[in-house]
Every structure is written in C-alpha cells, then in structure tokens.
Amino acid sequence: MTATPHRAFFGDAEYDFRLPPSLIIDLENKTGTGIGALCTRVFNKHFAQADIHETIRLGLIGGGVAPERAAKLIASYVADRPISETYPVAVAILENVWFGQPNHEAVNGQA
C-alpha cells in the first residue's frame, strides 16, 4: 500500500501529509490501537487528543517534514488550538489512508 500525500495548508504553510505503512505502525503504537479502530474512533468523534496529535505529527513526517520540525508544528498549531481546527486535518489524513486519494484531487492534478 502506498499512501498518496494529502496536501493542505497547516499553521504557516502548505504541507504534504502521508502515512506510509511504517508510520501507520508507529501511529498504532503511539495511540495503543490498530489503524481500523483508530479510524473508527476518529471518524465517529470518539477519539483521544493523542489520536489527533499523533496522526498530524506522523502525517507531517511521512510528508517529508523533519521529526523535530513536525514536533514544533504540533506544539505551535495543534496543542493549544481548538479541536475544531485540528480535527479536520487528522480526518483528512486518515481518510486518505482508508479511502485513498479523493477523485477531485486526482482530477485537479494534485496526485
């Protein structure tokens, strides 16, 4: 499985977010649950804050951001922000893992 990056504005710039299989394993370890259960929790709004933080942090790393920079971005743009701002980012990352790239992104050349 190869996850196509999801590109979105986050905090201070546009970033690629990607969760390849190796980082999905890291996400499972960090959140203490399998990817299927994590997606179910997040999609149904029964998530823990760590689910959101780790999904975004690892998505940034998978998208090419250095781990130290990803941690700083989380501290700046996730930790003290309302969940209503960060939840959609985590959902988009996990939707990309679960469903693949949306058709409108493929059509618009964001592959």
Q: Where are the domains of the chain?
A: 6-101
The answer on pLDDT for 102 being more than 70 is no
The answer on pLDDT for 78 being more than 50 is yes
Q: Does residue 58 contact residue 23 with C-beta atoms inside 8 Å?
A: yes
Q: Is the pTM of this model over 0.75?
A: yes
Q: Which of 61, 51, 54 is nearest to 16 (CA)?
A: 61
Q: Which of 86, 64, 84 is nearest to 75 (CA)?
A: 86
pLDDT of 14-53, one tens digit each? 999 999 999 999 999 999 999 999 999 999 999 999 999 9
Neighbours of 94 (CB within 10 A): 25
pLDDT at 4: 74
Residues sharing a CB contact under 8 Å with residue 22, sequence separation 6 or more, in sequence order: none
